[in-house]
Amino acid sequence: MPPSPAASRLHVKDLGVAAHHTGGGPVPLLEAVSLDVARGEAVAVVGESGSGKSLATRAVTGLLPEGTAVTDGTVTLDGEDILALGPRARHALRGRRLTLLLQDPFTMLHPQLTCGRQIADGLREHRGRGRAARTARHAEVARRLAEVGLDATVAERHPHELSGGMRQRVAIAAALAGDPGLLIADEPTTALDATSQRAVLALLRRLGKDRGMGLVLITHDLRVAFEVCDRVYVFYAGTVLEHGRPADLRALPRHPYTAALLAAEPSLRERREPLPALPGFVPAPGHRGPGCSFAPRCAHVTETCTDRPVPLAPVPDAGPGRLSACVRVADLAPVLQAPERPTGANLPARPARAEAVSDAVLQIEAVRRVFPAATRPALDGVSLSVAPGEVLALVGESGSGKTTLARIALGLESADSGSVRVGEVRLGPGAKPGTAQRRALAAEAQIVFQDPYASLDPLRTLGATLAEALASPAARGRGPRERAARAAEVERLLAQVGLPAAYARRRPAALSGGERQRVAIARALATRPRLLVCDEAVAALDVSVQAQLLNLLRDLQRAERFAILFITHDLGVVRQIADRVAVLHQGRLVEEGTAPHVLDTPTHDWTRRMLDALPGEAPAQEAAG
């Protein structure tokens, strides 16, 4: 049950935010959003991209984008109305009474300053210049690093010298240096492997309880929300559709949207083909209907859902604090208890490959790579292969060597020893490939990166981006025939990833994150490569969009028979897409086998640790027992 306003660190009541455009009226972005956070309590805000999660918290911190403003409601922090404060007073709150922790620690940490300096800058005390003040400041920085599980020597290092998990711990220490009463963490563990993710989440939870600090965790990962938080708010299209305790939402969601999100979560226990995926997208501001905003995507919609607004209201007979914005909440309870999971079948992975190693698209043998000043090799004698039509998942913690291995396979890094063959292209140790070899390699292998926003040129149309990637000589000339062939090939690529031909005239800013990633996949497939490297290609996406992309990749790969090296830290995703799994730990290949064998009966301690660290779901072998 939500705390009373008097007992709340943060109390938000009926918050409204709108965008103001020249020549037009305000466009609502948030409507009637209410939430509370008590001292020492962790509250999750979940939902798809565009649902208003980050916007609501930026309204609280006073960091709304230009052209937007709060139009309604109240926001109180420890009983003080912070919306009534002037800009200077709001600025003084940040870092002292409330702090925002972002997803990418590089966004928060200055690359040219030592970690210790960045923590010290936020301290309230020990700010003098004398020797005694410096000594006290160094001791306090060491204490803060120890609080987040890091050695005092980290104070002298720069962010680029640390692993992703260590950087995020330093960012937490810097965010908490001012001892805020409220921490807002916006997707703080999305880019981390399962073991680092669990450690960071446990750290945030412990610090919140020890300090009496309220924690707002913004995430698209329901497993993370259920693992860490006391209560969950489900956002959609600028409103709250459901609220309750994690155990209650997991056992019986009381809104079809929550049920659909739960169904789309990739399960570690079972492989489903296809993965249940939500159709369509979150409606854009100004395009929401008069009734329930989820109605156009809801499988249970009726006329009563669309004729009037549906307020968030207590769920009858569901206990205190359980809220839903569904007019059919009572009669849908039996249907939502098993949220749409029967739409997929529990299938085993495909049988182990029959191709010989000599037929492999990617062949890596005894590759070793040591970076200057490193304490251990990034890769130490790694050998693996990927056959045509096969998906090999490469998993491991941050810093295990996954991305380094992918870069060597693509000719972006050179190995110190060992050999690499991609299709017919052979890459030896030492020198990087020449121009002709790079062109041959680009025809054999392509990559899809994690961030769909950074993968595409924002100034070019999608048609121009895809046309540039085409390898066919018939599509690269300037005459009418070549232009027609180029347009037809671009249309084919867009259709291949489920996008209409009209998207060729759009620019990336007009697309959602999932649509951008579809275009990134289309661009990678434009050369008809024999190998596709996916480097955390679905890690930053909502679970519903993630399910769509995994289904798409599976269908394309089976139709075109290209091989996939799939780098990920999400073992639930591994279960859904991989035929085989290779586990890297500190630069060494410690386990390899079929996906069911590795996930159900792991033989290496590190593999078991990764399985145990997955939030919100017991490993398959435990579940079976």
Q: Do 245 and 355 fall into the same domain?
A: no
The token pair that represents 58 in the structure block: 């930026």
Q: Do 63 and 188 fall into the same domain?
A: yes
Residue 162: what pLDDT?
82
Which amino acid type is present at position 285? P
Residue whose entry in the numeric block shows the structure tokens 């301290």? 123
In this structure, is residue 321 part of a structural domain? Answer: no
In this structure, is residue 502 part of a structural domain? Answer: no
179, 155 in Cβ contact below 8 A?
A: no
Q: Do 231 and 368 fall into the same domain?
A: no
In this structure, is residue 365 part of a structural domain? Answer: yes
CATH number assigned to the domain comprising residue 202: 3.40.50.300
Residue 625: what pLDDT?
36
Q: Which residue has the higher pLDDT, 276 or 343?
A: 276
Which amino acid type is present at position 290? P
Question: Using 50, 70 and 90 to split pLDDT, how confident is the model at 342?
Answer: very low
Query: Residue 416 belongs to what domain range?
Result: 350-456+529-624
Question: Using 50, 70 and 90 to split pLDDT, how confident is the model at 347?
Answer: low
Q: What is the mean pLDDT of the chain?
A: 87
In this structure, is residue 518 part of a structural domain? Answer: no
Residue 18: what pLDDT?
96
Which amino acid type is present at position 12? V
Residue 340: what pLDDT?
44
Q: Of 181-190, 310-319, 440-449, 476-485, give the lowest mean pLDDT range.
A: 476-485
In this structure, is residue 366 part of a structural domain? Answer: yes
Choose one of 236, 251, 266: the last residue of a domain: 251
**Residues 6 or more apart in contact with residue 213 via CB below 8 angstroms:** 9, 39, 40, 176, 180, 181, 182, 183, 207
Choose one of 235, 251, 267: the last residue of a domain: 251
Residue 200: what pLDDT?
82
Overall average pLDDT of the 237-258 stretch: 95
Q: Do 63 and 200 fall into the same domain?
A: yes
In this structure, is residue 236 part of a structural domain? Answer: yes
Q: pLDDT digit string (tens) for 544-563? A: 888 989 999 999 998 999 99
Question: Using 50, 70 and 90 to split pLDDT, how confident is the model at 622?
Answer: very low
Residue 43: what pLDDT?
97
Overall average pLDDT of the 362-374 stretch: 91
Q: pLDDT digit string (tens) for 494-531? A: 999 989 999 999 999 888 788 889 999 999 999 999 99
Overall average pLDDT of the 193-209 stretch: 85
Residue whose entry in the numeric block shows the structure tokens 């590190």? 606
The DSSP string of 153-167 is: GGGGS-GGGS-HHHH
**Is it the case that residue 620 has pLDDT exceeding 80?**
no
Q: Of 47-51, 128-132, 274-278, give the lowest mean pLDDT range.
A: 128-132
DSSP class of residue 365? Answer: E
The H-assigned helical ranges of 176-312 are: 194-211, 222-228, 246-251, 256-264
In this structure, is residue 88 part of a structural domain? Answer: yes
Residue 621: what pLDDT?
41
Q: Among 526, 482, 485, 489, which Cα is nearest to 504's?
A: 489
Tell me the C-alpha distance between 562 and 529, whole Å.
7
Which amino acid type is present at position 378? A
Q: pLDDT digit string (tens) for 150-177? A: 899 999 999 888 876 788 889 989 988 9
Sign of CA dihedral 142, 146, 150, 151: positive
How many structural domains are present in the chain? 2
In this structure, is residue 614 part of a structural domain? Answer: yes
Q: pLDDT digit string (tens) for 39-83? A: 999 999 999 888 999 899 889 999 998 899 999 999 999 999 999
Question: Using 50, 70 and 90 to split pLDDT, how confident is the model at 102?
Answer: confident
Which amino acid type is present at position 41? E
The DSSP string of 472-492 is: -GGGSSSSHHHHHHHHHHHHH
**Residues 6 or more apart in contact with residue 121 via CB below 8 angstroms:** 174, 177
564, 386 in Cβ contact below 8 A?
A: yes
Q: What percent of the chain has pLDDT over 90?
A: 54
Residue 475: what pLDDT?
57
The H-assigned helical ranges of 363-434 are: 402-409
27 beta partners: 19
Overall average pLDDT of the 426-439 stretch: 83
Q: Among 50, 43, 63, 284, which Cα is nearest to 182's?
A: 43
**Is it the case that residue 126 has pLDDT exceeding 80?**
no
**Is it the case that residue 244 has pLDDT exceeding 70?**
yes
Q: How far is CA 69 from CA 28, 32, 75, 554, in A?
A: 10, 14, 13, 43
Instruction: Respond yes or no on whether the N-terminal peptide bond of residue 309 is cis (omega within 30° of 0).
Output: no
The token pair that represents 555 in the structure block: 């269908």
Q: Report CA 231 to chain centroid distance, whole Å.
A: 21
CA atoms within 13 A on the CB side of 338: 4
DSSP class of residue 94? Answer: B
Tell me the C-alpha distance between 605 and 517, whole Å.
34
**Is it the case that residue 292 has pLDDT exceeding 70?**
yes
What are the two backbone dihedrals, phi and then psi, of residue 29, each rounded to the nearest 5 degrees?
-110, -40
The DSSP string of 213-233 is: -EEEEEES-HHHHHHH-SEEE
Tell me the C-alpha distance between 398 and 554, whole Å.
26
Q: Is 314 helix (H, G, I), strand (E, B) or coil?
A: strand
Q: Report CA 300 to chain centroid distance, whole Å.
A: 29
The token pair that represents 432 in the structure block: 């990087």
Q: Which residue has the higher pLDDT, 103 or 480?
A: 480
Overall average pLDDT of the 31-35 stretch: 95
Overall average pLDDT of the 410-435 stretch: 89
Choose one of 193, 223, 251: the last residue of a domain: 251
Question: Using 50, 70 and 90 to split pLDDT, how confident is the model at 385?
Answer: very high
Residue 471: what pLDDT?
65
**Is it the case that residue 352 has pLDDT exceeding 60?**
no
**Is it the case that residue 142 has pLDDT exceeding 60?**
yes
Residue 351: what pLDDT?
53
CA atoms within 13 A on the CB side of 113: 14
Residue 472: what pLDDT?
57
77 beta partners: 10, 80
Residue whose entry in the numeric block shows the structure tokens 């799939």? 566
The token pair that represents 177 in the structure block: 């240096």
How much is the pTM?
Answer: 0.86
Tell me the C-alpha distance between 64 and 70, whole Å.
9
Residue 113: what pLDDT?
94
Q: pLDDT digit string (tens) for 589-600? A: 999 999 999 999
Overall average pLDDT of the 317-325 stretch: 90
185, 150 in Cβ contact below 8 A?
A: no
Residue 22: what pLDDT?
67
